[in-house]
Amino acid sequence: MFESSDLSLQLSVIEALTGVRTREAFCIALAGAVNRLAPFDLFMVRCLPNHAHQMRFTVAVKTADGRFELLVPDAEDEAAMNAEPDLLAEISDEAVYTGEAFKHAAAKYAIYHLAARKYAVASVLRLPLAVRSPFHVAILLASRTADAYSDADVQRLHHVMTPMCLAADNFFAFEELERQEREVRLQLSIGNVLLGVKTRETLSFALAAEISKVIPCDLFNIWFADATLRRLSLMPIVKTEDGIFTHIEFIPERRAELESATDLLPMFETAAIDIGENYARLAEHHPAYRQARERFGIQSAIRLPLPLRSGMMVAMVISSRLPNAYIDAHLQLLQRLAPQIGLLLENFFAFEKIEALRWQVEQEKLYLQDELSTEFNFAEMIGQSPSLRPVLKRVASVAATDTTVLIRGETGTGKELVARAIHDASPRRHKPLVKINCATLPAQLIESELFGHEKGAFTGAHERRLGKFELADGGTIFLDEIGELPLELQPKLLRVLQEREVERLGGKVIIKINARILAATNRRLEDEIKAGTFRADLYYRLNVFPVVLPPLRERREDIAMLARHFLKKFSKKLGKRITTISEAVIARLEVYDWPGNIRELEHVIEQAAILAVAPSIEVHDLLGSSVGAALGQAASGKMVGGGDSAAQFQGRTLDEMERDYILLVLSQTAGRVRGAAGAAAVLGMKPTTLDARMKKLGIRRDQIVAPKPAYKSPDTSGG
């Protein structure tokens, strides 16, 4: 007698379920069709994906006016739904629980216990659907009446089993097609977005924005670590109440706790869903999870390692404030996206590295241009004295190694020249020698100069800047006047020496550096250690291979050679034809003690070359110099043309002395520059060179004083 009514019911089920496109609509439509055969107060569609361990469900509740509305489950509902150790067995069989049977079921199954306590359910009918989709599906009818269901209800539902299963298959097939389309759109969107990403910060924002469209996401993080797993770097962003992602600022202590975390390998090797109690246990041991829970109320997460060929280890962590936010389908989606995201990250990091190298090359180029425009003290190491030979031997021995060298010596002994000689003879000679003078920079700038800074790291940091250690990568860094380094910066330099890594001011990334360290000082660092102004551990790190330069007074045999070298240099610079230094001058130079060492000798020869008229530097050309004053030449020395004594030059600059001397010679030649009797010939330089010097020194024709005529006695001859 059920044949005609069966057909009518089947048609009504098919009609009700045709065209539904969402699980919610499917649940409401199926509830309306089933309610014509069996009563209920709550109706549930339960789905368990194949090979999965988390139930997906949709619940409809019958209202007082007979309509059906969706019931939004809370965290307690989620937990009860997935509490059974064998979810498949729990939904695979038909069952009717009423009266005492329901009480036993409520004692056995968390979902029925919750239904009775929270929704006053007293009886349940469970019916599996034989579908071909990749799900195990069952419908659940729940009533607040104690004996609402019987086997007859099950039999009536069997009459519409076929259209229900067909409709379910069609719906899940459509859902799968939509899922695939969404996934393709997501892949295209991720690819398009990441192609325009230029920084790690925007990388996190771009990925979070796309992934949060399909997966719950309140906190998004990308973890970076090198192959040694010694350091963890994080790029976290959090979703605010208005749904916008924003960057998380860490206080230094919290960031240090995160980046020094140990036992990180599982985080970068294994994909996992951490929800509920499992997340709570993980948060007890891992600071990143603990801080996420404490600061942002995070209770569940998905962790996905990303395959990279570069050696960098990367993991993506997506977190939610809900305790059971994630299911296996979410992880499976991310795993399907992982190869594409990994490839895009490979390209991003390659671009980042290329940009860093390009910028470094530009910085090195600028630095080398500055260096080329700087006038170095020496073109080469000069000297053959017995006190210098052991130094040259030590320099030759250590140059080919990567050993740290501490160069010691008085001011002006040529410590920078030795550093350059070590670098030029080393395998690093094709990379830059980067120098920094620790005594010439304010304490607040030295750290930025050494380690670099990010844009906005401090007031005035308008752009990112590489530190000297990064500029010297692959080459050599020379730390001159290391004894002047402020005590508060010495631990940071020690860390660089020990770990071979730096972190820019305001930066979040640890940068490995490969630079040889050369340092120099004119101080006795042993005394500085006793005085508490220099760290002993830093001293021992620097003093691996000491090179001690002798003062010039201990290598007098080299003075003549050095003096002639400087004469050649300054003759060319001044455009004067001065070719020799008289033996009398050499003798005086060799007996002087040279407290300023080679630098002082260089300045004396430059001054003498300016004053010299003949092709040779003579004794009177030392007037006004430290040598002339020390040897008592000022009393007897006279300038060409009977000029004033050397006392007039004391405390004056070389430019002032040169200007006055050129004016004196011009006054002797009545202002004439060219010709055999002109000032250029008297000074031993080309007229064009003299014109250039006069222009540079600001000498004008109206400043030239005509010489006074020679004095003649009155004529008394009467004729």
Average pLDDT rounded to a whole number, residues 433-458: 80
Q: Which of 499, 490, 511 is nearest to 443 (CA)?
A: 490
Q: How far is CA 650 from the centre of its chain?
A: 53
Average pLDDT rounded to a whole number, residues 198-213: 81
Class of domain 555-703: mainly alpha
- Cα distance between residue 681 and residue 689, in whole Å: 11
Q: Residue written as tokens 């059906």?
A: 68
Examine domains 3-178 and 196-350 and report if their fold is the same. Answer: yes
Predicted confidence (pLDDT) per residue in 588-615, tens digit: 888 888 888 998 899 999 988 888 876 8
Q: Does residue 480 contact residue 520 with C-beta atoms inside 8 Å? A: yes
- Which of 370-379, 501-510, 527-536 has the highest average model confidence (pLDDT)? 527-536
Q: Is the pLDDT of residue 632 over 70?
A: no
Average pLDDT rounded to a whole number, residues 68-81: 74
Please report the sign of the dihedral spanned by the C-alpha atoms of residue 542, residue 546, residue 549, residue 554: positive
Q: Which of 468, 472, 542, 475 is nearest to 504 (CA)?
A: 468
Of the pLDDT bands very low, low, confident and very high (cuts 50, 70, 90), residue 218 is very high
What's residue 616's pLDDT? Answer: 84
What's residue 77's pLDDT? Answer: 72
Bridge partner list, 303: 272, 317
Q: Residue written as tokens 């700087």?
A: 374
- Cα distance between residue 174 and residue 185, in whole Å: 16
Give the burial string for 594-612 (b: 16+ CB within 10 Å, else e). Answer: bebbbebbbbbbbbbbbbb
Average pLDDT rounded to a whole number, residues 14-22: 73
Average pLDDT rounded to a whole number, residues 159-183: 82
Predicted confidence (pLDDT) per residue in 251-279, tens digit: 555 666 655 555 667 777 888 898 888 88
Q: Residue written as tokens 């496109």?
A: 21
Average pLDDT rounded to a whole number, residues 152-173: 85
- Cα distance between residue 360 and residue 465, in whole Å: 10
Q: Does residue 83 contact residue 111 with C-beta atoms inside 8 Å? A: yes
Q: What is the pTM of this model?
A: 0.46
Q: Is the pLDDT of residue 645 over 50?
A: no
What's residue 688's pLDDT? Answer: 84
Predicted confidence (pLDDT) per residue in 180-200, tens digit: 888 788 777 777 776 777 777
Query: Two tokens at 327?
Result: 């299911």
Q: Is the pLDDT of residue 521 over 60?
A: yes
- Which of 70-79, 594-603, 665-674 has the highest average model confidence (pLDDT)? 594-603
Q: Which of 597, 256, 571 is nearest to 410 (CA)?
A: 597
What dotted CATH number matches 196-350?
3.30.450.40
More confident residue, 648 or 539: 539
Which has the minimum average pLDDT: 8-17, 211-220, 458-467, 574-583? 8-17
Q: 560: part of which helix (H) or strand (E)?
A: helix 559-574
Phi-psi region for residue 426, left (φ > 0), alpha (ψ -120 to 50) or beta? beta
The full set of domain ranges for the chain reads: 3-178, 196-350, 375-550, 555-703
SS3 of 506, please? coil
Percent pLDDT > 90 in the chain is 16
- DSSP letter string over 316-367? EEEEESSTT---HHHHHHHHHHHHHHHHHHHHHHHHHHHHHHHHHHHHHHHH
- Cα distance between residue 586 and residue 562, in whole Å: 11
What's residue 716's pLDDT? Answer: 37
What dotted CATH number matches 375-550?
3.40.50.300
Looking at domain 3-178, does it have CATH number 3.40.50.300? no
